[in-house]
């Protein structure tokens, strides 16, 4: 599970950075479940708090990869929920920019 989470974090961070540099084109290759908002260039409702949560989790996992499962549980998320959140962030240029800024702090 730890390797899966590490791979997911690396992949989603790369995806997020790719979305930032591609002008926000949605090319995640994931099927739309109907719950994702269209990228708008502005933070969607609750987007900032969602980005803050994702960045907090990513930083915690980066600092202590051996606790990845526990960190997700502490934040009330499953790996799938975190993965979905990262795809949502990657699909929204404003959320991607905020995530990148929060990760560099």
The answer as to whether 33 is a domain residue is no
Query: 40 by DSSP, 3-state: which?
Result: coil
Residue numbers of the domain that contains 91? 2-24+42-103
The answer as to whether 66 is a domain residue is yes
In the chain, the percentage of residues whose pLDDT exceeds 90 is 53
Total count of domains within the chain? 1
Q: What is the pLDDT of residues 63-100, one digit of tens each?
A: 999 999 999 999 999 999 999 999 999 999 999 999 99
Task: Report which DSSP code applies to 65.
Answer: G
């Amino acid at each position: 599970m730890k390797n899966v989470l590490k791979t997911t974090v690396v992949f989603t961070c790369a995806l997020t950075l790719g979305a930032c540099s591609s002008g926000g084109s949605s090319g995640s290759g994931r099927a739309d479940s109907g719950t994702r908002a269209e990228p708008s260039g502005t933070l969607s409702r609750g987007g900032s708090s969602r980005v803050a949560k994702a960045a907090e989790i990513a930083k915690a996992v980066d600092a202590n990869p051996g606790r990845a499962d526990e960190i997700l549980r502490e934040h009330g998320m499953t790996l799938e929920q975190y993965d979905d959140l990262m795809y949502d962030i990657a699909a929204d240029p404003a959320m991607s920019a905020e995530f990148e800024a929060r990760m560099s702090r």
